[in-house]
């Protein structure tokens, strides 16, 4: 699948949810449908011609009333998962045990 732009990000202002949403959308696409002689279908080169988001509901609140669309850059700064770098913590004292 191809996307020209980064996906929209959402935030529920009622519960603070940033990651779980029920999104209802209408998408108009054009794609290359490649069939085998046996009828097996492989869909390639999907191009999104238009996309209309009808509703975005918070998975926990069950309503779209408090969901707002936010700038992805804004989430990078506040999302606890986005800043985690587990590799750096594990790397720091490797070799201290093996040195002797
Ligand atoms: Zn919520």
CA of 14 relative to ligand 1 center, distance in Å: 5
What pTM was computed for the model? Answer: 0.58
Domain coordinates in residue numbering, the chain: 9-76+83-93
Task: Give tens-digit pLDDT for 1-12.
Answer: 555 667 789 999
Q: What is the pLDDT of residue 77?
A: 63
The 10 Å Cβ neighbour count of residue 11 is 21
Q: What is the pLDDT of residue 33?
A: 97
Cα separation, 4 vs 48, whole angstroms: 9
CA of 51 relative to ligand 1 center, distance in Å: 24
User: What share of the chain has pLDDT > 90, as a percent?
Assistant: 62
Strands 21-35 and 41-58: antiparallel
Question: What sign results for the dihedral spanned by CA atoms 23, 28, 31, 33?
Answer: positive
3-state secondary structure of 78: helix
3-state secondary structure of 55: strand
Q: 16 — alpha (psi -120 to 50), left (phi > 0) or beta?
A: left
CA of 95 relative to ligand 1 center, distance in Å: 46
């Amino acid at each position: 699948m191809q996307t020209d732009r980064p996906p929209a990000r959402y935030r529920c202002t009622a519960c603070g949810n940033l990651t779980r949403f029920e999104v209802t959308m209408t998408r108009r696409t054009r794609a290359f449908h490649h069939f085998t002689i046996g009828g097996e279908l492989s869909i390639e080169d999907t191009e999104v011609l238009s996309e209309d988001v009808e509703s975005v509901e918070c998975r926990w609140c069950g309503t779209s009333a408090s969901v707002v669309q936010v700038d992805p850059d804004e989430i990078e700064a506040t999302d606890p998962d986005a800043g985690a770098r587990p590799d750096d913590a594990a790397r720091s004292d490797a070799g201290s045990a093996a040195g002797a």
